[in-house]
């Protein structure tokens, strides 16, 4: 068993997450591909694969138990975060991964091919130009957006009517951003996330349309 797998197993053991053998192999495979492509494509500032397990994999999959619904979109996904780890964890749910940079989408397509992930649709587009279809999404995920305010303004057309939510992964709780939210949007829940071996706070801010 390789050292990355040993490390991943040790991290998962510090959580209540239920992760199958196949899912663990896919998560390690994703980190290996990210590391390989990162040398040429500069997909993440995290260079160490062990750090990737903590800062990218665990930081993403701790959100998995909080996903309610079937259809999700990860906006500004970058190299597929948190979308790919969450898709691996939730093979019966569907994920659209949206990014405006071609090299990131090419990388994601390669990951899907090599790891045989079938519940992800990569899309190269700016979020404000992307039409989410008539139904909309149960959850609009974002990990890298500059602010929650920008996220809800640019993604306002994506959640499913009445039931869809915005899921913003943040570090420290951004009280100033929450105070600047537009009138039509409100915070319905804030979850403090525990990420093994990650320094600093992590929060999931869940928002929805009012009314």
Alpha-carbon distance 151 to 143, whole Å?
10
Cβ within 8 Å of residue 183, ≥6 positions away: 210
Given a cut of 90, is residue 211 above it in pLDDT?
no
- Output the pLDDT for position 76: 96
Please state, in angstroms and as integers, the Cα–Cα distance from residue 30 to each residue in 5, 15, 27, 153, following that order. 12, 20, 5, 31
Read off the pLDDT of each residue in 155-160 and give the average, rounded to a whole number: 95
- Output the pLDDT for position 1: 74
Within 13 Å of residue 31, how many CA atoms lie on the same side as its CB?
25
Burial class (CB in 10 A: 0-12, 13-18, 19+), 192: exposed
- Output the pLDDT for position 132: 82
Residue 80 annotated as binding?
no
- Is pTM beyond 0.75? Reply is yes
The pLDDT confidence band at residue 145, using thresholds 50, 70 and 90, is: confident
Residue 143 annotated as binding?
yes
Tokens, residue 52:
């990737």
- Output the pLDDT for position 164: 97
Read off the pLDDT of each residue in 59-69 and give the average, rounded to a whole number: 98
SS3 72: strand
Question: What rounded mean pLDDT belongs to the chain?
Answer: 96
Read off the pLDDT of each residue in 141-169 and give the average, rounded to a whole number: 94
Give the tens place of pLDDT for each residue, 6-16: 999 999 999 99
Alpha-carbon distance 206 to 203, whole Å?
10
- Output the pLDDT for position 78: 96
- Dihedral through CA 34, CA 44, CA 71, CA 91, nearest 10? 20
What is the domain partition of the chain in residue ranges? 62-209
**What percent of the chain stands above pLDDT 70?**
100
**What percent of the chain stands above pLDDT 90?**
95
62-209: CATH topology: Rossmann fold (3.40.50)
Given a cut of 90, is residue 37 above it in pLDDT?
yes
- Output the pLDDT for position 175: 94
Read off the pLDDT of each residue in 85-106 and give the average, rounded to a whole number: 98
Residue 198 annotated as binding?
no
Rounded to 10°, the helix 21-41/102-115 angle is: 150
């Amino acid at each position: 068993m390789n050292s990355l797998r040993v490390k991943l197993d040790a991290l998962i053991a510090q959580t209540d997450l239920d992760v199958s053998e196949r899912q663990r192999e896919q998560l390690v495979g994703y980190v290996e591909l990210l590391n390989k492509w990162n040398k040429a494509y500069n997909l993440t500032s995290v260079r160490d694969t062990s750090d990737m397990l903590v800062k990218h994999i665990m930081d993403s999959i701790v959100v998995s138990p909080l996903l309610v619904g079937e259809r999700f979109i990860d906006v500004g996904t970058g190299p597929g975060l948190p979308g790919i780890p969450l898709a691996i964890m939730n093979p019966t749910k569907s994920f659209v991964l949206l990014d405006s940079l071609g090299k990131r989408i090419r990388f994601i397509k390669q990951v899907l091919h090599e790891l045989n992930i079938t519940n992800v649709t990569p899309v190269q587009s700016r979020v404000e130009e992307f039409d989410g279809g008539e139904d909309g999404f149960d959850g609009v995920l974002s990990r890298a957006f500059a602010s929650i305010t920008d996220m809800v303004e640019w993604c306002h057309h994506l959640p499913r009517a009445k039931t869809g939510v915005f899921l913003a992964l943040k570090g420290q709780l951004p009280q100033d951003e929450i105070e600047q939210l537009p009138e039509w949007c409100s915070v319905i829940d804030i979850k403090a996330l525990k990420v093994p071996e990650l320094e600093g706070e992590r929060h999931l801010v869940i928002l929805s349309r009012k009314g």
